[in-house]
Chains A and B, each alone.
Chain A
Amino acid sequence: MNRGMNNIVVLVAGPFIIYAILALFMGAIPGAVLSKTSPGPGVMPFSPQAQRGRDVYVSEGCSYCHTQQVRPLKQDLVFGRPSTAGDYAYSTPQLLGSERNGPDLSNIGSRQPSDVWQYIHLYEPRSLVSMSIMPPYRWLFQLKAHADVNDIVVPVPPGYAPKGAVVVTTQEARELVAYLKSLKQAPLTSRAKR
Chain B
Amino acid sequence: MTVTSARRLEQSTAGDIKLFSAFTISATVWLLLATAVGLLLSFKFPYPDFASSPYLSFGRLRPIHTNGTFYGFASVALTGVAMYVAARSSGISLWGKTYAWGALWCYNIAATMGTITLDLGINNGDQEYREWVWWVALFFVGAVILSAISIIGTVANRTERDIYISNWYIIGAYSFTTILGVTAAIPFYQRGLGQVAVQGFYMHNAVGMWFTFLALGTTYYALPKLLNRPIYSYALGILGFWTNLIFYPIIGAHHFEFSPLPWWFQTLAIVFSVGMLVPVFAGTGNFLLTMRGGWERIRRSVALPFIFVGVLYYFVGSFQGTVEALRSLQTIWHLTSYTVGHSHATMYGFITFIAWGCIYGLLPKATRKQPNSLATGLHFWMASIGVTLYVLALSVGGTLQGIDWAQGDPFIASVESAAPYWVARAVGGTMMFCAHLLFAYNVYLMTFARSRESEAAPIVAGKATA
> For window 156-176 of chain B, which residues contact chain A by CB distance below 8 Å?
156, 161-163, 167-168, 171-172, 175-176
Contact between A26 and B252, CB atoms less than 8 A apart: yes
Tell me whether A145 is interfacial, beta carbon within 8 Å. no
Contact between A37 and B194, CB atoms less than 8 A apart: yes
Contact between A89 and B340, CB atoms less than 8 A apart: no
Tell me whether A146 is interfacial, beta carbon within 8 Å. no
With A18-B245, A27-B201 already in contact, the answer to whether A133 and B48 are too (CB < 8 A) is: yes
Contact between A78 and B62, CB atoms less than 8 A apart: no
> For window 169-198 of chain B, which residues contact chain A by CB distance below 8 Å?
171-172, 175-176, 179-180, 183-184, 189-198
- On chain B, the residues within 8 Å of A84 by CB distance are 260
Q: Which residue of B lies closest to A22 (CB)?
A: B249
Tell me whether B128 is interfacial, beta carbon within 8 Å. yes
Contact between A63 and B126, CB atoms less than 8 A apart: yes
- On chain A, the residues within 8 Å of B171 by CB distance are 11-12, 15
User: Would you give the 0/1 interface string for A1-44, flagging 1 where the beta carbon is closer than 8 Å to chain B?
Assistant: 11001101001100110111011001110111111110000000
- On chain A, the residues within 8 Å of B156 by CB distance are 8
- On chain B, the residues within 8 Å of A36 by CB distance are 194
With A22-B249, A88-B192 already in contact, the answer to whether A134 and B48 are too (CB < 8 A) is: yes
With A31-B190, A63-B126, A99-B340 already in contact, the answer to whether A8 and B163 are too (CB < 8 A) is: yes
- On chain B, the residues within 8 Å of A62 by CB distance are 59, 126
Tell me whether B259 is interfacial, beta carbon within 8 Å. yes
How far does the alpha carbon of A92 sit from the alpha carbon of B60 in the complex, in Å?
Answer: 19
How far does the alpha carbon of A6 sit from the alpha carbon of B194 in the complex, in Å?
Answer: 39
Tell me whether A175 is interfacial, beta carbon within 8 Å. no
- On chain B, the residues within 8 Å of A11 by CB distance are 155, 163, 167-168, 171
Indicate which residue in A12, A20, A69, A99 contacts B179 across the interface (CB closer than 8 Å): A20
How far does the alpha carbon of A139 sit from the alpha carbon of B415 in the complex, in Å?
Answer: 25
Size bin of chain B's contact surface: 35 or more
Tell me whether A100 is interfacial, beta carbon within 8 Å. yes
Tell me whether B405 is interfacial, beta carbon within 8 Å. yes
Tell me whether B23 is interfacial, beta carbon within 8 Å. no
User: Would you give the 0/1 interface string for B416-435, flagging 1 where the beta carbon is closer than 8 Å to chain A?
Assistant: 10010000000000000000
How far does the alpha carbon of A6 sit from the alpha carbon of B405 in the complex, in Å?
Answer: 54
The total of interchain contacts (Cβ-Cβ below 8 angstroms) comes to 232
Q: How many residues of A contact B (CB 8 A)?
A: 73
Contact between A136 and B201, CB atoms less than 8 A apart: no
Tell me whether B388 is interfacial, beta carbon within 8 Å. no
- On chain A, the residues within 8 Å of B180 by CB distance are 23, 27
How far does the alpha carbon of A65 sit from the alpha carbon of B205 in the complex, in Å?
Answer: 23
Indicate which residue in B121, B201, B260, B331 contacts A85 across the interface (CB closer than 8 Å): B260
The smallest C-beta distance from B247 to any residue of chain A, in angstroms, reads: 10
- On chain B, the residues within 8 Å of A87 by CB distance are 260
- On chain A, the residues within 8 Å of B54 by CB distance are 60, 139
Tell me whether B199 is interfacial, beta carbon within 8 Å. yes
- On chain B, the residues within 8 Å of A61 by CB distance are 57-60, 62-63, 123, 126
A37-B193, A88-B192, A135-B59 are known contacts; what are 10 more A-B pairs with Cβ within 8 Å? Answer: A26-B252, A27-B184, A28-B183, A34-B197, A35-B191, A98-B255, A99-B336, A132-B412, A133-B44, A135-B57
27 A-B interface contacts by CB (under 8 A): A5-B163, A8-B163, A11-B171, A15-B171, A15-B172, A27-B180, A27-B252, A30-B198, A31-B189, A31-B190, A35-B192, A71-B258, A73-B331, A74-B408, A75-B331, A75-B406, A75-B408, A92-B195, A94-B125, A97-B335, A102-B411, A132-B48, A133-B45, A133-B419, A135-B49, A135-B57, A139-B54
**Chain A residues at the B interface, C-beta cutoff of 8 Å:** 1-2, 5-6, 8, 11-12, 15-16, 18-20, 22-23, 26-28, 30-37, 58-65, 67, 69, 71-75, 78, 83-85, 87-103, 125-126, 129, 131-139
